[in-house]
Amino acid sequence: MFTGLITGIGIVTEVTPLGAGADARFTIRTPDNDAWAKADKALGASIACSGVCLTVVESGPDWFTVEVSAETLSKTSLGAWGKGTRINLEGSLRIGDEMGGHIVSGHADGLARLAFITPEHGSTRFVFELPEELAPYVAPKGSVALNGVSLTVNEVEGRVFGVNIIPHTLAHTNLSTLAVGDAVNVEIDMLARYVARQLSFRAAVS
């Protein structure tokens, strides 16, 4: 589990395909900050990489390596990662840690595309378009994770929703690198997922 509060930006330093159309291995350099000096990068540790929970298979003092399945590569932005890609990092939540964002599983539901960016009252307004199947799960004032960043939804209209991102968040995440048309990993709020499941189940048995 994660909170959606990014603790640094990592850099992809090596990409190794593991067969045609199959899995891939990524080596990621960790940020030079206190959080990652103390972070758990041991074999088997879970790290959210731009919103996708991945397992460490190798590590060193300032790097770690993960292996990613072909399914994940095809369903997330990881398939487009290359050497030099900047990714948001968050170590897994530990008992007793502060819950400053919202509960994030690291299981991305799909991709949202950036439709519009504009400055607004000192922050930056980002408008995203969701796949049709995810749109019902995003609600005004609800939570959503974009590239692993916990954000509050401002408004929703059909498949389109907007968020305002403060300068601190832009400066410390890879959201600052986005351009119109770019895709981000989106994870819908876990509560919305279970409420929708319960309602659909009740409708099916009634």
Q: Is the pLDDT of residue 100 over 90?
A: no
Residue 171 lies in a domain: yes
Residue 124 lies in a domain: yes
Taking a C-beta distance cutoff of 8 angstroms, is the pair 154, 197 a contact? Answer: no
pLDDT tens, position by position, 112-121: 999 999 999 8
Summary mean pLDDT of the chain? 91
pLDDT tens, position by position, 2-16: 999 999 999 999 999
Give dist(CA 173, CA 118) in Å, integer: 18
Same domain for 114 and 46 = no
Same domain for 195 and 127 = yes
Same domain for 195 and 125 = yes
Residue 1 lies in a domain: no
Global pTM reads 0.91
Residue 73 lies in a domain: yes
Same domain for 49 and 12 = yes
Give dist(CA 148, CA 93) in Å, integer: 13
Query: How many CA atoms lie within 13 Å of 96's alpha carbon, on the beta-carbon side?
Result: 0
For residue 138, give the CATH number of its domain.
Answer: 2.40.30.20
Same domain for 86 and 15 = yes
Same domain for 144 and 75 = no
∠ at Cα 169 (193, 37), nearest 5°? 95
Same domain for 195 and 121 = yes
Residue 101 lies in a domain: no
Query: How many independent structural domains does the chain possess?
Result: 2
Same domain for 69 and 124 = no
Same domain for 21 and 80 = yes
DSSP 186-203: EEE-HHHHHHHHHHHHHH
Residue 163 lies in a domain: yes
Give the pLDDT of residue 18. 81
Torsion of CA 33, 37, 38, 39, to 10 degrees: 90
Q: 167 pLDDT band (50/70/90 cuts)?
A: very high
Q: Which domain holds residue 198?
A: 110-205
